[in-house]
Amino acid sequence: MKTWFGMKIRALALLVAVGLAGPAGAQSTNAQQPALQLPEITLTLGNRQVIAEVAATTEERNVGLMHRPSMPENRGMLFVFDRPGNYCFWMKDTLIPLTILFLDEQQRVVQVNDMEPLSETPHCVRQPALYALEVNQGWLVRQGLQLQLGRPGGLVVQSQLPLARYITTNP
Residue 96 has pLDDT above 80, yes or no: yes
- Can you give the residue ranges of every domain in the chain? 29-166
34's CB contacts (< 8 A; 6+ apart) are none
The residue ranking higher by pLDDT, 91 or 22, is: 91
Q: What is the pLDDT of residues 132-145, one digit of tens each?
A: 999 999 999 899 88
Among 18-22, 43-47, 131-135, top mean pLDDT goes to: 131-135
Q: Residue 160 has what pLDDT?
A: 67
Residue 54 has pLDDT above 50, yes or no: yes
Burial class (CB in 10 A: 0-12, 13-18, 19+), 80: buried
CATH number of 29-166: 2.60.120.1140
Across residues 154-165, what is the average pLDDT?
A: 71
Q: What is the pTM of this model?
A: 0.75
